[in-house]
Structures are given as C-alpha cells and as structure tokens.
C-alpha cells in the first residue's frame, strides 16, 4: 500500500515538473524565435552641400520582421521638433540578418553649424515592427561628434 502511494506521489510530482518545463520551454521559444530589429550601424557621407547618414537597420532575430517603420528625428539646441530632413520610411519585411538602409541628413546653414561644432546634434530613432503576431518597438538616442563624424549611443529601450 505505501509503495503505491509513493509511486502516485512521484508520478504527480513528475507531471507537475513536466508541465513547468513545457511552460518554460514555450516562453523561451517565444523569446528566441522572434525578430529583433535595431540600429546596427550609422554611416556618414559629407558633401559640400549636406551631411547624410545612412542608418543600417538590422534584424538579428531568427524570424522576419514585418511592417517595419523607421522614424529618425534630428535635433539641435535651436531645433527641438526635428529637422525636416529626418523622414519616416517603411519596409514590408526585413529578413533575419538583413540590413535595411534608411538615409537622413541636413543641409545648408544647419550643416555648417554642425560641422563647425556650433550646434550639437542629437538623433532619436524609433522603429516599430511586427513578428509572431505581436508588435515590437526599438527606441534609441544618439549624439553626433562633428570632429570624428561618428555617433555615440546614449540610451535606448526595446521590448
């Protein structure tokens, strides 16, 4: 009799642990098997008329990112709402390990002020995309160094 009770208890404990392992495996799979989109690199191109930056938006996840919308916004101390040259773009799909290039730039007096170090430039990037039936986002903030023509990541947020 006691041997049967012990066998039942062990069976119940094994069933509970099996259920917990299945739940944990499902959660881990949802975290791993999804798109992860971020700014992979920013290339700088300077001409006499303008500075253009190409944002390399990359999907480092294992599944495609769908309905990707990239919204860069450039700001200086005097222009807080964003420069006109920061335009929103969209892409239907970004496959795993694929890079989508999104240009953004400045011209004229703004370009000259940035190049001479008279204006500090900041870029806010927002990326919204879908995958596995869920919406995801990535937001990042960068500051521009006019001496090295490079961007420094300040902070960001993602889900």
Domain residue extents for the chain: 33-158
At 19, is the secondary structure helix, strand, or coil?
A: helix
Total length of the chain? 159
Residue 145 has pLDDT above 70, yes or no: yes
Strands 134-145 and 50-59: unpaired
Task: Tell me what pLDDT residue 67 has.
Answer: 92
pTM score above 0.85:
no
Q: Domain 33-158 has what CATH class?
A: mainly beta
User: Residue 81: which residues within 8 A CB-CB, separation 6 or more?
Assistant: 75
* pLDDT per position as a tens digit, 76-134: 876 555 554 456 677 889 999 999 998 888 888 888 888 888 888 899 999 999 998 89
Residue 4 has pLDDT above 90, yes or no: no
* pLDDT per position as a tens digit, 21-79: 888 877 777 667 889 999 999 999 988 888 889 999 999 999 999 999 998 988 887 65
């Amino acid at each position: 009799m006691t041997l049967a009770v012990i066998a039942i208890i062990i069976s119940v404990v094994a069933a509970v642990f099996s259920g917990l392992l299945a739940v944990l495996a499902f959660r881990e799979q949802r975290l791993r098997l999804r798109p992860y989109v971020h700014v992979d690199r920013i290339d700088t191109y300077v001409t006499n008329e303008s500075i253009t930056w190409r944002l390399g938006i990359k999907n480092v996840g294992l599944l495609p990112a769908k309905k990707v919308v990239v919204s860069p916004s450039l700001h200086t101390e005097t222009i807080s709402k964003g420069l006109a040259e920061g335009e929103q773009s969209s892409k239907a799909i970004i496959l795993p390990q694929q890079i989508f290039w999104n240009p953004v730039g400045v011209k004229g007096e703004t370009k000259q002020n940035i190049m001479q170090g008279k204006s500090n430039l900041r870029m806010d990037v927002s990326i919204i995309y879908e995958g596995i039936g869920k919406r995801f986002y990535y937001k990042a903030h960068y500051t521009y160094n006019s001496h090295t023509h490079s961007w420094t990541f300040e902070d960001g947020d993602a889900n």
